[in-house]
Structure 1
Amino acid sequence: MKNTVVGILTIIIVALMGFVATDDAVYHGGEHGKVIEDMGNKTVNASSSTAPEEKDDREKEKEQLKALRDKAGNAGAFKVSQEYKSKCASCHGVNGEGIMGPKLFGQSADKVYKDLVDFKAGRKENYIMKGLLIKLEESDLRRLADEIGDFPNRAKESK
């Protein structure tokens, strides 16, 4: 009996999937799809009536490059050490912009150093940070903190 009910439900579900796939005209270029296409053309035509002056190729390339940089973020804005890349970048971003971990960009070297020491000592709880820092010496922590504190200066120099 269970097999019969499951078989009937499966047939009904497959039939509904087929009906939905063939019924919606928007996705298949039907009348509704043409309405949406016309709306897009009207916006393009409305904006083309006040067309800006033609830009030369160099300006177009600069705009395209800027758009790509904006889209990609700050991934290659400035150089960071291999130590930062291997220990910090996976959570805090290549340039400290913050991904899963908090944003480091703009923090002072002293604050970062204090936080690193607190994580290592266990005063701040974060098992990932403690695991990453447990084998590092104080001089390593200072070097990482100084590098992170210098991120704003590096960003200015790279522009």
Structure 2
Amino acid sequence: MKNIIVGALTLLIFALMAYTASQGRAYQGGEHSKVVENIGTKSSAQSEANSLQEKSDREKETDQLKAIKDKAGNIGNIKTSAEYKSKCAACHGANGSGEQDDRKLMGPKLYGQNSEKIYKDLIDFKAGRKENIIMKGLLINTSEEELRKFADEIGAFSLQSQKQSE
């Protein structure tokens, strides 16, 4: 009985294989492989035109990025204290932008915020009204006078960059 079942399944498998082979190119992508072949036979003139278009698009993007950076001001040359560099720059960036070397950092953007808002946020982090373990750990032994200095320094970032761009 087992031999009959195994024989019937073997015949069924061979029949399915024959059907698949008759449909053509089953293991090479079927009908969709023909589309890929057509893409490969594109004329060289079209590919050159596309590469020129891509270059001009890249140049446009580069020009747009440069214009945005110029419009935002020169925030790369902001003077910061050693305390800011040691406590804040790792998460918020050396200039408070929340980015470093075109990659997003853990902390939010501080650049452009006023000193009163930053001071209030620092007090809230220290008191635990705002939840952030890293901020609470950094600020737990910091006096309110030092918090005020941090807030004033960070609040002056946008003023520094405006003076430098003028």
Aligned to 2:86: 86
Cα deviation, residue 157, structure 1: 1.6
SS at structure 2 position matched to 1:124 = coil
Give unpaired runs (5+ residues) of structure 1: 1-30, 48-62
Q: Map of 1:2-151 to 2, 5 A cutoff?
A: 35=42, 38-43=45-50, 76-98=76-98, 99-151=105-157
CA distance in 2, matches of 1:131, 1:36: 63
CA distance in 1, matches of 2:152, 2:91: 18
Judge conservation of contact 1:106–1:151 (CA < 8 Å) in 2. yes
CA distance in 1, matches of 2:53, 2:112: 43
CA distance in 2, matches of 1:109, 1:76: 20
Q: CA RMSD in A?
A: 3.5
Q: TM-score by structure 1 length?
A: 0.56
The alignment-based identity, stated in percent, is 54
Seen in structure 2, the aligned counterparts of structure 1 residues 109 and 46 have a Cα distance that, compared at 3 Å, is: closer
Aligned length: 112
CA distance in 1, matches of 2:111, 2:91: 13
CA distance in 2, matches of 1:91, 1:36: 50
CA distance in 2, matches of 1:77, 1:36: 49
Cα deviation, residue 95, structure 1: 1.1
CA distance in 1, matches of 2:50, 2:133: 53
SS at structure 2 position matched to 1:110 = helix
Instruction: Render the CA deviation track for 1:58-92: whole Å, top value 9, x for unaligned.
Output: xxxxx8xx69x78xxx7733221111111111111
Instruction: Report the AA paired with residue 89 of structure 1.
Output: A
Seen in structure 2, the aligned counterparts of structure 1 residues 45 and 115 have a Cα distance that, compared at 3 Å, is: closer
Considering Cα pairs closer than 8 Å and 6+ residues apart, tell me whether 1 or 2 has the greater RCO: 2
Judge conservation of contact 1:75–1:94 (CA < 8 Å) in 2. no
CA distance in 2, matches of 1:36, 1:141: 65
CA distance in 1, matches of 2:53, 2:137: 58
Give unpaired runs (5+ residues) of structure 2: 1-37, 55-62, 99-104
CA distance in 2, matches of 1:75, 1:115: 22
CA distance in 2, matches of 1:92, 1:40: 43
